[in-house]
Structure 1
Amino acid sequence: MITHSAQPSRSFVALLVAMLALVVMLNFVDRGAIGIAAPLMSKALGLSATRFGVAVSAFFWTYGLAQPFVGMVADRWRAGLVLAAAVALWAAATLLTSLAASLSMLIALRLALGLGEAALFPATSKLIAAYVPVDRRGLANAVIAVGLALGPALGTLAGGVILAHYGWRWVFFGFGVVTLAWTGPWALLVARLPVAVVRGQPDRPSPIRQLLARRTLWVMGAAHALANYGFFFVAAWLPLYLVKSRGLSISTMTLFATATYAAQAVASLGWGWLADRLVRRGGAPSAVKRWLCVVAELGSVAGIAAIALAHGPALLFVALIVTGVFLGCLPTMVYALGQFHAGARDAAGWIGVQNAIGSVSGIIGPIVTGLIVDATGSFSGAFAFAAVVSAAGAAVFAFAVP
């Protein structure tokens, strides 16, 4: 059982969670900048849909592969300091993307961005599992998920304005500077955070081989990958789809995409509140969260299909909002489930492996989408494939996740 050298106050924990939510928001602002800039950047750099998909995918090559190792580091060293160094790296990569002049340079910077962002969820999960009581982790993860959803929302809103008035390069430069500024207040907060101990000794996490021997970890990784597919699909391709396929202006695209991500952010809080309420009323934490994931995956199937089939801007807007509401549940519950099964001691290492497996969708999905779009000249097949993956996710959560 984990205790602390000096248990932080409830207000301090709330500040900790708020700062984590803020950096998660910045994380998705920065990784999603490529999607926002795509309408102008693809033309400037001569990127086909497939080449653009490769650039999006490159982020996940390092992001996925590095997470188990970064998770082990965050379990053995102070997770807050590991996070600070990682944020500085990804902020620099974002800023330097403003100078990209070719696909190869863009891929190199996306690899650096992925390496930096790889520390985010392992370190965040370690901190939440160590300092937030189990009956409040649903809401804590929901607050984190709000940051996750607000990142694309605010990023699309701010990035769309910057894109329309100043061009795509200033999107990356501005986002990188803002993220770098977060590291100062965070360093001050981490300096006041007590170190987790067990019976007076530093808490020793399980060796990675013991984690990898647990079937539940692999099942959660598979569920995470399936849950991620729809989220990554919408985050990476929605701006380009709305402009190229639906013929929306950049300003209208900005409004529609921002509303989608804002709905996801608001819904994340609602899903987290509902999960905690059901647990406090006697529901088993794992069962509550996995069945909410089933509902969310099935809702995502309906929403993704509705986006592809909607006629006219009004119905398209409604379909986007519905999709955002259901996508808002999945990050909240997937990370909460991982933290529950891992325990505080192994949270960073577990989430590192789980998120690495979950990143397979980010590696494969953008390339698959790009190939489908280039081969057919339409996004219809890509939407159909995303809906099938989400349906498979519902089945895994219902019948395989413990």
Structure 2
Amino acid sequence: MARSRGVALNATLIVIAQSTQAIAIGAIALFLPLIRSDLGLTFTQAGLLAAVATLSYALMQVPAGVLADRVSPKTLFVVGVAGANALAILFALANDFVLMLVIQAVAGIFRAAMFIPGMLLMTRHFSEKRRATAMGLFVAGGFTSNIVINLIGPLLVGPLGWQGVIVASSVVGLLFGAVLWFVGDDAPHHEADAPAPTRWVWRTPAWWLLGVIQFARLTAVSGFGLWLPAFLIDERGIPLASAGLIVAVSAAITAPSNIGGGILSDRLGRPLLVIAVSLIALTALFSLAGQIASIPVLLVVMGLIAVFIQLYFGPLFAIPRQLFGPGLAGLSSGFGNFVANLGGFSSAFVLGVLKDATGDFTAGFYYLAAVALVGAVAALVLWRQPLPRPSG
């Protein structure tokens, strides 16, 4: 392998390459009212456009994790970057709902090739004591790209249309994928990262409790992230540019919170404390969100949700490595993200169905609050669990 170019350069390339596909996802959420209008979609159909990609993404998490334990994470990651961005271009150029559903379903497969391999690629460039920090940094890039698309998207949608914005951002993603392939280093090999026996973890309560927490995590993230622009525009009457600014500020709060949660967890050595406090706070905030009439108060609540919604990402993905060992890093991350994306699928779809059924997003916010509460209970139960031990 070529001489390592250093942690800073490799981390930067990984974060930027991972972030570009998040721009297309953020654009779909921001422009969902326009997409609905252009295609004549119901809220349920619009939610399905996002949900189908999340479902295929979820189904590929364990296979992607197993592959990442056995082959080059860099290769899988770059393939994912190329496929996800190419399919985003096709999505923007399509004008048939069924075809767009098919494209989104296939795109979810390539996005799965990005997440677990990319996270392993990132964490292996960092020391063992900085794993949670590395994981928080990896995902924070996605929120940074969310800031970009929500700030400049409303300015570009006039001359380019929502289709042109997605195509332009995806071309940038393809370029950065190529730069990573030719300039970036593969993950350093660690003897401890060799594949390990897997059957024993499926009998471990901690394995399933972490799955419940992951389900709650992405239920909140996907439901809030996908439907926030529609909630602000369609239900609160806020213009597209102003809604984009609000979403951008939300992402600007979440990005450092994501990194800060990893640093806090590493310093305290209490990842479950960070997780439990975050989920309890989200339970309360989502319970209030749909009831608030005052826009200034609503914005404060949205800002607080942005603080807690990914504060515990790094700790949550660091715990399986501590409990089950580095040899199962790919499988444990893949399983966790599989369950998480089942939650993401549920919120993307259920909130659209509830909006069509009730006429507003209040019931949807209650759904997010209920799932966050279940996740908080799982975290508290896990806190009292004895540490798992490998067995035949």
Report the TM-score, using the length of structure 2 for normalisation. 0.91
State the distance in 2 between where 1:225 and 1:124 align.
21
In structure 1, which of residues 378, 382, 394 is the aligned counterpart of residue 360 of structure 2? 378
State the distance in 2 between where 1:213 and 1:90 align.
35
Partner of 1:220: 210
Paired amino acid for 1:109:
I
The superposition leaves residues 257-297 of structure 1 with CA deviations (integer Å, 9 ceiling, x where unpaired) of: 11111111122222222222213xxxxxxxx1111011111
State the distance in 2 between where 1:149 and 1:100 align.
26
The superposition leaves residues 342-386 of structure 1 with CA deviations (integer Å, 9 ceiling, x where unpaired) of: 433221222112111111112222221111111111111111111
In structure 2, which of residues 63, 70, 78 is the aligned counterpart of residue 69 of structure 1? 63
Q: CA deviation at 1:161?
A: 2.4
The alignment partner of 1:219 has SS state of helix
State the distance in 1 between where 2:293 and 2:19 align.
32
Q: CA deviation at 1:111?
A: 0.9
Rate the CA distance shift 1:6–1:209 in 2: closer, same or farther, 3 A.
farther
Is 2:87–2:107's contact at 8 Å kept on the other side of the alignment? yes
1:73-84 aligned at under 5 Å gives the runs 73-84=67-78
Partner of 2:144: 150
Partner of 2:10: 16
Q: CA deviation at 1:139?
A: 1.9
The alignment partner of 2:326 has SS state of coil
Q: CA deviation at 1:60?
A: 1.6
In structure 1, which of residues 126, 129, 140 is the aligned counterpart of residue 120 of structure 2? 126
Is 2:64–2:113's contact at 8 Å kept on the other side of the alignment? yes
Partner of 1:283: none
Partner of 1:196: 189
Query: What's the Cα RMSD here?
Result: 2.2
Indicate yes or no: 2:290 matched with 1:308. yes
Paired amino acid for 1:196:
H
The superposition leaves residues 53-94 of structure 1 with CA deviations (integer Å, 9 ceiling, x where unpaired) of: 111110022101111112111111111111111110001011
State the distance in 1 between where 2:312 and 2:199 align.
28
Deviates most, 123-132 or 263-272: 123-132
State the distance in 2 between where 1:228 and 1:267 align.
16
Rate the CA distance shift 1:87–1:210 in 2: closer, same or farther, 3 A.
farther
Indicate yes or no: 2:382 matched with 1:392. no
Deviates most, 25-34 or 237-246: 25-34
Partner of 2:389: none
Rate the CA distance shift 1:183–1:211 in 2: closer, same or farther, 3 A.
farther
State the distance in 2 between where 1:294 and 1:197 align.
32
Partner of 2:264: 274
State the distance in 2 between where 1:133 and 1:386 align.
35
Rate the CA distance shift 1:318–1:71 in 2: closer, same or farther, 3 A.
same
Deviates most, 339-348 or 29-38: 339-348
Is 2:282–2:372's contact at 8 Å kept on the other side of the alignment? yes
1:235-384 aligned at under 5 Å gives the runs 235-279=225-269, 288-384=270-366
Rate the CA distance shift 1:128–1:98 in 2: closer, same or farther, 3 A.
closer
Report the TM-score, using the length of structure 1 for normalisation. 0.89
1:67-216 aligned at under 5 Å gives the runs 67-190=61-184, 192-193=185-186, 195-198=188-191, 204-206=194-196, 209=199, 211-216=201-206
State the distance in 2 between where 1:207 and 1:102 align.
46
Rate the CA distance shift 1:90–1:194 in 2: closer, same or farther, 3 A.
closer
Q: CA deviation at 1:24?
A: 3.2
Q: CA deviation at 1:214?
A: 4.3
State the distance in 2 between where 1:276 and 1:173 align.
39
Paired amino acid for 1:255:
L
State the distance in 2 between where 1:231 and 1:102 align.
28
State the distance in 2 between where 1:121 and 1:51 align.
26
State the distance in 2 between where 1:29 and 1:128 align.
20
Is 1:67–1:352's contact at 8 Å kept on the other side of the alignment? yes
State the distance in 2 between where 1:207 and 1:90 align.
32
Rate the CA distance shift 1:308–1:291 in 2: closer, same or farther, 3 A.
same
State the distance in 2 between where 1:160 and 1:340 align.
43
Q: CA deviation at 1:300?
A: 1.5
State the distance in 1 between where 2:303 and 2:52 align.
29
The answer for unaligned runs of 5 or more in structure 1 is: 280-287
Indicate yes or no: 2:52 matched with 1:58. yes
Is 2:198–2:328's contact at 8 Å kept on the other side of the alignment? no
Rate the CA distance shift 1:149–1:126 in 2: closer, same or farther, 3 A.
same
Paired amino acid for 2:380:
A
In structure 2, which of residues 37, 40, 54 is the aligned counterpart of residue 43 of structure 1? 37
State the distance in 1 between where 2:7 and 2:179 align.
15
State the distance in 2 between where 1:144 and 1:397 align.
23
Rate the CA distance shift 1:387–1:253 in 2: closer, same or farther, 3 A.
same
State the distance in 2 between where 1:332 and 1:374 align.
35
User: How many residues align structurally?
Assistant: 384
The superposition leaves residues 142-199 of structure 1 with CA deviations (integer Å, 9 ceiling, x where unpaired) of: 2123213223222222323222443221122112111111112211344x44651539
Is 2:89–2:167's contact at 8 Å kept on the other side of the alignment? yes
Q: CA deviation at 1:116?
A: 0.7
Paired amino acid for 1:114:
G
Paired amino acid for 1:345:
G
